[in-house]
Structure 1
Amino acid sequence: MDKLDAMRLFTRIVERRSFTLAANDTGVPRSTVTQVIRQLEERLGVRLLQRTTRTVKPTLDGEAYYRRCLAILDDVEDAEGAFSGAMPKGMLRVEVQGTLARHFLMPALPAFFAQHPEIELSMSESDRWVDLVQEGMDCALRYGKLPDSDLIARQVAMLERVTCGTPEYFDKYGMPTDISSFDGHRMVGIRLISTGSLMPLEFTGGAAHESVMLPATLSVTGPESYLAGIRLGLGIAQVPRFHIEEDLKSGRLVTVLHDRPPPSAPVSLVYPRNRQLSPRVRVFLDWATQEFARKNSPVTTDVSQHHA
């Protein structure tokens, strides 16, 4: 194994905190991984990794070498990608919010693969906030306000949200005409996975942004269960409009309080700051940004990067 490949393998071990997971990611036998790291440490004359029965962590020298490796590998990727004949290739690992991916990205995947035939896409669907570096992901598609982190974020859309329920629910509890007319009403609740707290209904317009907490017979953490609860007539809820377009057309759901809409929700693509942005990640980010712009009017055409 040459020095660059050894560096790539070493950075993967540091990020995955595991020889076995790094071996699976790179397709290198586990025994080879151990041998390469031993030879690397012997050549450098320092110990790079601390091994325990459960995890692998870099030493101080390992941390410094890891950062140098990232910079070198980034330069190599840039140099190779500068030539017009260099095709982005390899495995791309992306974590997505499933509903968004199915609506905005997956219909256009055949065209993406036709343009980039040497890229393989491994798409992990999750509604939890995974650690991209620890879990070996190149980037993630995330919905909602981003917490502070060391990730780089590219906002790709602002999704219109609506307040809705079934006609049967409103026949039973009454049609609210303002947020002051929610007495006796219920909501389908959605809980934050990170804290377990129940999210209130939110309303813009009027004098100020206002929040309302209603009793929730059902509370869930996933968007599909949330939508199922709404369709069952279990309460009022707030969802992105694209998610219920067919329900609105069929009359299965109806919207209310049009002059007090919930705030729009951002959609972002995020990726680790300390991970070299390979050509395959760059083309995926650009393509996904274009797909969201094509199917949803973004707030701005600026796709500049900022801290997540």
Structure 2
Amino acid sequence: MDRLATLALFIRIVDRGSFSAAAADCGVSRPVATGAIKALEQRLGTRLLQRSTRHVQPTVEGEAYYHRCVAILADLEDADRGSNGAVAGLVRVDVAGYLARTMLLPALPALLARHPALTVHLGEGERFVDLVREGVDCVVRAGALPDSDMVVRRLGEMKEITVASPRYLADHGVPATPDDLDGHVMIGFVSSRTGQTLPLEFTRDGEVIEVALPSRVLVNGADSSATAARLGLGLVQAPAYRFADDLASGALIEILADFLPTPTPVSVLYPSNRQLSPRVRVFVDWLVETIAPHFESG
């Protein structure tokens, strides 16, 4: 491996905490990766990595060398961009599937046309992601965020609504206010972060109230929640954009429109402990440009 490839491999090993995962990311075999790092340590005359049976982490010298390598490769990417502002390389992003399909993918051809050497790995998920350990460059998340050392860039806020199917409302009645929800059931959405079922939420006279209804169906995915609602299995709350087609077709009906849930913030997160590479910076800027117009400013 040449020196630049070895630097990129070393960065990936530190990020992933694994020789095998980093080797796979860089398209080389585990023995090649091991040999390259051994040669690098011999050339520098110092140990860069501490290896155990389950994890790899940098030594004090390795941590300092890691930050220098990140800066060097970022500067090189900047230099390679040239006057046309093109970037190259792989960007790994994790985003909720419906948002990816409805907002990101339709706009992606324009980004790729603008940067022909850029590759995007779009992972669909709503669970907590350890960006550094899993080799993800950035994530798009909705809702309140736990405290972390991530950089958070707000994209906007999603209007939330309460919906149910005509069949469900025919069986249970149409509530006029949250006080009329006795006898109703909700589709329980289980938070991937807390493991708890989220209550329904309504705003009345500027005050937020929570209502925990019985649930006969529990889900932890937004697509499953929407499908369950169409089948008449309970009330559900979700971003309004998700139900645009269902509301237009009559498959779902909005209820309690005068008692909306609080809007949900949408943010992009990326690690704060390393210099943002040009390819990731370009992608994050594109996310803001692409997603923000769909939502209210937050």
TM-score by length of 2: 0.94
| CA positional deviation for 1:74 | 3.2
Q: What is aligned with 1:24?
A: 24
Deviation of residue 201 (structure 1)?
Answer: 0.5
Tell me by how many angstroms 1:257 deviates: 1.2
Asked if 1 retains the 8 angstrom alpha-carbon contact of 2:77 and 2:87, the reply is no
Unmatched runs of 5 consecutive residues or more in structure 2:
none
Segments of structure 1 that go 5 or more residues without pairing to the other structure are 301-308
Check whether the contact 1:201–1:238 (CA below 8 A) recurs between aligned residues: yes
Cα separation, 2, equivalents of 1:186 and 1:254: 16
* Secondary structure, aligned partner of 2:131: coil
The Cα of 1:54 is off from its aligned counterpart by 2.4
Map 1:255-274 → 2, pairs under 5 A: 255-274=254-273
1:292 deviation in Å?
1.4
Matches within 5 A, 1:1-308: 1-81=1-81, 83-85=82-84, 87-294=86-293, 296-299=294-297
Counterpart Cα distance in 1 of 2:129 and 2:292? 26
Secondary structure, aligned partner of 1:134: helix
Aligned partners of 1:95 and 1:137 also within 8 Å: yes
Tell me the distance in 2 between the aligned counterparts of 1:148 and 1:48. 30
SS of the aligned residue for 2:174 comes to: coil
Distance 1:262 1:78 in 2: 44
For the residue of structure 2 that corresponds to 1:229, the secondary structure is: helix
CA shift in 2, pair 1:133/1:40, >3 Å:
same
Provide the TM-score with structure 1 as the length reference. 0.91
Distance (whole Å) between structure 1 residues aligned to residue 225 and residue 160 of structure 2 = 14
Identity between Structure 1 and Structure 2 (%): 47
Question: Is this contact kept in 2: 1:161–1:263, CA < 8 A?
Answer: yes
* Whole-angstrom distance in 2 between the partners of 1:139 and 1:222: 20
- Structural RMSD (CA): 1.8
| Separation of aligned partners in 2, 1:291 and 1:86 | 18
Q: CA deviation at 1:240?
A: 0.7
1:79 deviates by 4.2
Name the SS for the 1:249 alignment partner.
Answer: helix
Contact 1:160–1:240 (CA under 8 A) maintained in structure 2: yes
1:22 match: secondary structure: helix
- After superposition, what is the alpha-carbon deviation per residue over 1:96-148, rounded to whole angstroms, capped at 9, x for unaligned? 11111101111112222111111111111112111111111111121222111
Query: 2:48, 2:61 within 8 Å by CA — same for their partners in 1?
Result: yes
Q: How far apart are residue 207 of structure 1 and its match?
A: 4.5
The answer on whether the counterparts of 2:67 and 2:274 sit within 8 Å (CA) in structure 1 is: no
Q: Is the 8 A contact 2:92 2:137 kept in 1?
A: yes
Contact 1:70 1:274 in 2 (8 A): no
Q: Is the 8 A contact 1:89 1:280 kept in 2?
A: yes
Task: Indicate if the aligned counterparts of 2:19 and 2:56 stay in contact, CA closer than 8 A.
Answer: yes
The Cα of 1:80 is off from its aligned counterpart by 4.0
Q: Is the 8 A contact 1:189 1:198 kept in 2?
A: yes
How far off is 1:209 after superposition? 1.0
Query: Once the 2 structures are TM-superposed, how far is the Cα of residue 265 of structure 1 from its aligned partner?
Result: 1.0
